[in-house]
Amino acid sequence: MNAATAEAPAWQQAVFQALKQGDVRQIAYVPDAGHAHAIRSAIADPGIEAVVLTTEEEGVALVSGAWLGGQRAVLLMQSSGVGNCINMFSLLQAADLPFFTLVTMRGEYAEFNPWQAPMGQATQAALELMGIQVLRVDRPDEVAEVVSAGLDTAFMAGGRVAVLLGQRLIGRKQWDRG
């Protein structure tokens, strides 16, 4: 076990293990602290291509292209990034493509940044309006099962799935008020 793995909470380790067990070969992401362990682990894993994005909607196209090329890919983003993807989500429906995303939530529990609240509160409804099934995790002991179930729904049943990782799960952000 390397230092990065030892420092990560068990639920974050469970996320990456579920992705590995689900045969995910590409991970598209915009850097985010809530996804830091999965990102670091993907970068270190020679069996996974980790692709940093400039904006989240690029990830919708990337994971769609990966599927068409015969690989499973996952988009990691924060709830604020969901708003950036709304128009691109139409690609998933029009082309009937499977889709899986992990979304770290903001604008909820103990949020200090008022800019995060509107999209955080609209994330689930926005995803559902675009035909994406939403699963939510707020407890560490549920992470592995929910992520695994979401992967199966996306890649075995051809569904479009978002797993929301609640802000309580991620934990209160600590910022210096100095």
Domains located in the chain, CATH noted: 3-46+60-130+138-166 (3.40.50.970)
Q: What is the pLDDT of residue 114?
A: 78
Extract the residue ranges of the chain whose pLDDT is less than 50. 1, 3-5
Structure tokens at 33: 């602290």
Q: What is the pLDDT of residue 1?
A: 45
Q: What is the pLDDT of residue 135?
A: 98
Structure tokens at 42: 């993907």
Length of the chain, in residues: 178
Q: What is the pLDDT of residue 3?
A: 47
pTM value surpassing 0.85: yes
Nearest alpha carbon to residue 116 among 50, 47, 167: 167
Phi, psi dihedral angles at 138 (to 5 degrees): -125, -5
